[in-house]
Structures are given as C-alpha cells and as structure tokens.
Amino acid sequence: MGSGGREHALALSLAKTAEVVVTPGNPGIARSGLDGLAISCTDSPAEQVNCDLYVIGPEAPLVAGLADRLRSRGGLVFGPGADGARLEGSKAWMKRLASQARVPTARYATFDSLVPAVEYLRSLPGPYVVKTDGLAAGKGVLVTDSLEEAERDVAAKLSGESFGDAGRRVVIEEGLFGPELSVLAICDGRRAFPLAPAQDFKRLGDGDTGPNTGGMGAYSPVSHVGPEIVEEVMERAIEPLIFELRRSSIDYRGVIYAGLMLTDEGPKVIEYNVRFGDPEAQVILPRAQGDLAAVLARAAAGRLCLEEPDLTSDGPPQVCVVLSARGYPAHPRTGDPIYGIDEARSVPEVTVVHAATALDSSGRLVTSGGRVLGIVGQGPTLKEARERAYRAAGCISFDGLHYRSDIAVAAIAELGGAGGASGG
C-alpha cells in the first residue's frame, strides 16, 4: 500500500517471487506491470483487496491504525499497529521509550509551552535541534547554530503556525556531530535481522546545505561501516528497543528503521521510523538476495528464522538520485510535464523509480509532488552505479527540476575511486 518511490521499489522486489497488487500505486508502478512484471495497481482501499500478505509502505496509515484494521479481519500484515507506530508518530514517546531501553540518543526535553522551551534552548551550547512531536513528512526538524532562529522556530511550531497540530508539542535536543547512517531491521515481534545499511542525504543542496527534506538521494553499501557497527546498532539500538516494546505489550511486526549519527561516542539514534526509508529502500532492496515476499510474510506471522537468514544483502552497489520539483520542500509545484523517461530507462542497469508522478487529463506524465523521481543506478562498483544514475538523471527534464550532484561522491573518494567524476 502506497504511492511513492519506496512502494515502487518494494513492488519491484516483491514481484520477483510474488504477484503484487499496489493500492493506489502510481503511473511508474503501473508501467512496471505493463513491462511484464507481476505488478498491477488498483484504486480499491487496502481493506477491499484480498491477498496473502499486506505490506504497508508509508508511516501515516500505520500511525492511523491500518495494520490493526487489516489484522482484525484476519489479514497477515507486515507493518506495526498504531501502538508500535507511535515510535515515529510521536518523537516525545519515542525518546521516552528509547531512554527506558537505554538506547544512546541525544539529550533532550519535551515542551508544549514557549517560555520553558526558550529557557531550555538558552541553556544548551548549540547547535540547536527543534523537532515537531508529530509527523511532518520529514520536514519538522530544524538544526541551526542560531539561537534566535531556534527560538523563532519553537514559537512557530508551538503556535501551530508551521506544522499545525503536529508541532504543538516539540522535542528540543542537543546537536550531535558525525556522519549519518540508516540501519533497517526486519522484525517479527521478538527477533530482528538487519538489512545492508544505507546513507541518505537529507538536505536539499549540495554539500549538505539548504533545508531538510524527506531525502534527496541514497547509496549502499556504505564502505566505512563494517559489520561490527551494524552489530553494535543491533545490540544497542534495535534489540533493547524490541524488548522495551514487548514490555509495553507491543507486538511489533515490521521494519524498525534506526536513523543514526556515528558520533565520537559511538552510534546514537536520532530517530526511529516504522517503515522502509525513502529513498533508502530504493538502494537497499535491490541488494537483498532471496525471497523478500516470503521473509516479510514470516516476519508478519512472528516466525522469522534467524539461524539461516533467507535474505542476504550482498547484491551489487546502488546509487539513487532524487529529482525534486520546483519549490520543494516548502511549496512543491505540481502539474509540470516530465520528459525523457524512456531515454533514462534505456541507460543500462538503471531503474527509474516514480515517487510523485501522475497522468494529466490528456495522458501526459506530470509531476504530482515534491520528490518526483528516483533514478537508481547499479554497477559492479559504487562509482559505476553513480555514473549510471547520473547519466540517466541527465536524460530527464521538467520545469523546475532539481537534484543534488554530490550523492555518494565522498564515499567514492574514500574508496580511492576519483569519485568526483561526471557530477550532475
């Protein structure tokens, strides 16, 4: 269930071993079906689709209890109920649970009125981090060195002006430093196993400048992250969390996505998400070798077998470049015709993932949201994967098109691969 880039990537991976119906899907997902994959789209709500396994893509329906409704009708569902989805639906609740589980996170406090919030901000050394408690499509976080800006942001959030009810409670945190990493684990309520880590690019502009977004690109593998870091994340940030969820009588079956910062003091969690990352899924899922549909079904049934994991993450390197619309993230413009999809698709080892596209009344493909397309390149090396992704991205045009030119550059340079080649 879903209509974005993550769901397109999920459908492509699930269709390797299953027949996939996506509600509502998007024109790119429908096109994948026409290309001969076992994928179709339907307008029917999930409750009216009969299937052996429901996989819920986005956070909003999870927070709203869709998994509970499907389970109460006897459906097998991959995705947490509303109780577990609070991990993402309320940052304040997440921080409390994480501290009970002794998961390393940033120091923080929660506020719903201005005066104590400002007082707390003034007691911090900075940088200042201000988060909406509720869901804000990845845009509710301000990180700034300016106390003045942080105070203005707190006022706008608490008053409801900037994010409505989602911002009427805020979490204020100390700023952490270090490279970021996304570790996603498949969880069956008791046990979990990790997928390959990925790195996401949250800021809109090159060199991590500009506003926070839902994610402007991603790559995997992440060369500087060895298996020992993934193991540490499982032991310190995922397993204790599952234990704490169970203590709260929460049977969590779905993805636990730990957004981490690799600080001098070790990995610290900056957020948990309750679903696959977007665009992380676009680079992680193609690397997963095995029967994804069967594994998700086993997780949904509470029966993962960890002794012999059926899914390994050692497929070829992947780089995803997100093409965004004019005005994203503040006010994305929609309805701009998109050109060059077929040229992009003809670049070898490239997948054009649709994230926010629609067909207009005359059947033209147009933009329909902020993050429009994800261009995923695959290759024997990260460098080649990146070159393919950018070559294909260069084929696409629409009015206001924007993308970062530095996705995976630093990682490739670190590998000694002259990563700056060919840019955007």
Give contact residues for ligand GLY (rule: CB under 6 A).
138, 200, 214-215, 273, 277-278, 280
C-beta closer to ligand AMP: residue 78 or 128: 128
Q: Is 270 in the site for ligand AMP (CB under 6 A)?
A: yes
Nearest approach, Cβ of residue 138 and ligand AMP (Å): 6
Query: Which one, of 328, 341, 330, 331, lies nearest residue 401 by Cα?
Result: 328
**Contact (CB, 8 A) for 166 and 140:** yes
Residue nearest to ligand AMP (CB): 271
Q: Is 248 helix (H, G, I), strand (E, B) or coil?
A: coil
215 binds, options ligand GLY, ligand AMP, none, Cβ within 5 to 8 A by partner type: ligand GLY
Q: Which of 92, 176, 181, 260 binds ligand AMP (CB under 6 A)?
A: 176
* Contact window for ligand AMP (CB under 6 A) among 61-69, 173-181, 348-356, 405-413: 173-181
C-beta closer to ligand GLY: residue 189 or 215: 215
Q: Is 271 in the site for ligand AMP (CB under 6 A)?
A: yes
Strands 365-367 and 350-354: unpaired
Q: How far apart are CA 399 and CA 415, in angstroms?
A: 36
Strands 253-263 and 199-200: unpaired
Nearest approach, Cβ of residue 211 and ligand AMP (Å): 10
Q: How far apart are CA 351 and CA 320, in angstroms?
A: 9
Nearest approach, Cβ of residue 216 and ligand GLY (Å): 9
Cα 406 to Cα 6, 96, 126, 324: the distances in Å are 21, 36, 27, 15
* Contact window for ligand AMP (CB under 6 A) among 80-88, 136-144, 313-321, 390-398: 136-144
Q: Is 143 in the site for ligand AMP (CB under 6 A)?
A: yes
Nearest approach, Cβ of residue 381 and ligand AMP (Å): 26
180 binds, options ligand AMP, ligand GLY, none, Cβ within 5 to 8 A by partner type: ligand AMP
Q: Which of 106, 114, 147, 294 binds ligand AMP (CB under 6 A)?
A: 106
Nearest approach, Cβ of residue 280 and ligand GLY (Å): 6
* Contact window for ligand AMP (CB under 6 A) among 76-84, 172-180, 319-327, 384-392: 172-180
Cα 57 to Cα 4, 9, 40, 225, 372: the distances in Å are 8, 10, 16, 27, 17
Q: Which of 68, 83, 151, 180 binds ligand AMP (CB under 6 A)?
A: 180
C-beta closer to ligand AMP: residue 127 or 316: 127
214 binds, options ligand AMP, ligand GLY, none, Cβ within 5 to 8 A by partner type: ligand GLY
Q: Could you count the other beta carbons within 10 Å of the beta carbon of residue 331?
A: 9
Place of tokens 């169970």: 246
Structure tokens at 340: 């060059």
**Contact (CB, 8 A) for 394 and 363:** no
Structure tokens at 405: 């030119």
C-beta closer to ligand GLY: residue 21 or 353: 353
**What angle (nearest 5°) sits at the alpha carbon of residue 115, between those of residues 111 and 120?**
65
**Contact (CB, 8 A) for 278 and 5:** yes
Q: How far apart are CA 252 and CA 322, in angstroms?
A: 30
197 binds, options ligand AMP, ligand GLY, none, Cβ within 5 to 8 A by partner type: none
Nearest approach, Cβ of residue 12 and ligand GLY (Å): 18
Q: Is 222 in the site for ligand AMP (CB under 6 A)?
A: no
Q: Which of 31, 71, 202, 404 binds ligand AMP (CB under 6 A)?
A: 202
Range 344-378 burial, b when 16+ CB lie within 10 A, else e: beebebbbbbbbbbbeeeeeebbbbbbbbbbbbbb
Q: Is 296 in the site for ligand AMP (CB under 6 A)?
A: no
Nearest approach, Cβ of residue 215 and ligand GLY (Å): 3
C-beta closer to ligand GLY: residue 40 or 351: 351
Q: How far apart are CA 302 and CA 284, in angstroms?
A: 23
Strand order in the sheet with 192-194: 192-194, 180-188, 253-263, 266-273
Residue nearest to ligand GLY (CB): 215
Residues binding ligand AMP (CB under 6 A): 106, 129, 131, 138, 141, 143, 173, 175-176, 180, 202, 212, 259, 270-271
